[in-house]
Amino acid sequence: MIDIFNNFYKGKKVLVTGHTGFKGSWLSIWLHEQGAEVVGLSLDSYSEKDNFVLSGIGRRIKADIRADIRDGQRMKEIFIKYQPEIVFHLAAQPLVRLSYEQPVDTYEVNVMGTIHIMEAIRVTKSVKVGVMITTDKCYDNKEQIQGYKETDPFGGYDPYSSSKGACEIAIQSWRRSFFNPIDYGKKHAVSIASVRAGNVIGGGDWAKDRIIPDCIRALEAGKVINIRSPKAVRPWEHVLEPLSGYMMLAQKMWNYPTEYCEGWNFGPENDSVSTVWEVVTELVKNFEFGVLKDSSDLNAVHEANLLTLDINKVKTRLGWKPRLNMQQCIALVADWYKRYKTEDVYNLCVEEIDKFIGR
């Protein structure tokens, strides 16, 4: 595999929370391929069709641990045992609609879970870098056309979005109180950042009420694809886009710990900001079959209509930019879902990472 990180991850001890999930499984594969010693910490995967299960990444990494991030004591024990150097915190309840059904759980996992991870980092001297994954939905959504900047206020209408806004406030507070760059090298040796991606899509996601998994389920069952919010505009991006950004950021934080410990948006270019209908049309085009139906649900729970991210900061300060446009992104997504049933999924993921890097 081509190494865009100049051998940085080789031999590094990296702890990934949420490694059984969609993004975490891809991140674990990529880190493993780079030679990192990956420790994964999560709940069980959701289904036998998850990328984590099909790829078998759990058997390849150094440790594949089942633990609940709401258990602060357990988090500290795991961190102390494995002595990670870099932490990517992805574990969360990540679904807007589920957060209306389970608001308390969503807050407990997302907010208290994040705090327990930061507390575990605090007692583990080996940790130098913590990348905390929140979301584009952490910003106070004003349904504005221009993208949200890192300096915009946090907020969130629904419990999921607001829990991630609350995570951002907690991360900011822990950074000021315990990981303050001013005290780096004197009171602590940790660099903490938060990262916000857009609507992440890619192979191996089967989450409920997410548009791509919903479409694939319908396509596989030969059913009509019902589109709940056809006009909703989202910053779509392939899973490898933000992951490449998180990995690049962690490397920068390692080398310049006081210069990059901030919030960062890893969204797509403006031309990939599209409506749900446009994205699904592109997916169906790639599959060469499938029937779409506008099933706008006027009684549905509130979800943001218009949401985009401003990515000038990552471009100018980090030198990161998206590699795929919307059409290339959907083609790569479709590629995984067309091939996962008949091919070795680990190799398929590695091939897709190589293809992505080669752009």
CB atoms near residue 217 (< 10 Å): 13
Please pick, from the candidates 12, 15, 24, 86, the single residue that binds ligand NAD as defined by CB under 6 A: 24
Q: Which residue is nearest to ligand NAD (CB)?
A: 21
Using CB under 6 A as the binding rule, the residues of this chain from 177 to 196 that contact ligand NAD are none
Q: Which amino acid is residue 179, in one-letter code?
A: F
Residue 244 near ligand NAD by CB under 6 A = no
Residue 263 near ligand NAD by CB under 6 A = no
> Taking a C-beta distance cutoff of 8 angstroms, is the pair 251, 213 a contact?
no
Please pick, from the candidates 8, 14, 21, 332, the single residue that binds ligand NAD as defined by CB under 6 A: 21
| Cα angle, residue 161 at apex, residues 160 and 163 outer, rounded to 5° | 65
- Give the relative orientation of helices 326-339 and 345-357 as an angle to the nearest 10 degrees: 160
Binding mask 29-68 for ligand NAD (x = CB under 6 A): -------------xx------------------------x
| Cα angle, residue 6 at apex, residues 314 and 244 outer, rounded to 5° | 35
- Whole-number minimum distance, CB 6 to ligand NAD, in Å? 26
Q: What number of chain residues touch ligand NAD (CB under 6 A)?
A: 24
Residue 135 near ligand NAD by CB under 6 A = yes
- Whole-number minimum distance, CB 163 to ligand NAD, in Å? 9
Residue 336 near ligand NAD by CB under 6 A = no
Residue 109 near ligand NAD by CB under 6 A = yes
- Whole-number minimum distance, CB 135 to ligand NAD, in Å? 4
Please pick, from the candidates 38, 53, 57, 69, the single residue that binds ligand NAD as defined by CB under 6 A: 69
Using CB under 6 A as the binding rule, the residues of this chain from 195 to 234 that contact ligand NAD are 197, 199-200, 207
CA distances from 346 to 42, 55, 138, 247 (A): 20, 4, 32, 20
Residue 20 near ligand NAD by CB under 6 A = yes
End-to-end CA gap in the chain: 14
Residue 133 near ligand NAD by CB under 6 A = yes
Q: Give the integer Cα–Cα distance in Å for 240 and 255.
A: 23
Q: What is the CA radius of gyration of the chain?
A: 19
Looking at the Cβ atoms of 188 and 196, the one nearer to ligand NAD is 196
Residue of 35, 117, 42, 120 lying closest to 81 (CA atoms): 120
Residue of 43, 44, 36 lying closest to 15 (CA atoms): 36
- Whole-number minimum distance, CB 186 to ligand NAD, in Å? 31
Q: Give the integer Cα–Cα distance in Å for 275 and 292.
A: 14
Residues contributing to the site for ligand NAD (CB under 6 A)? 18, 20-24, 42-43, 68-70, 90-94, 109, 113, 133, 135, 197, 199-200, 207
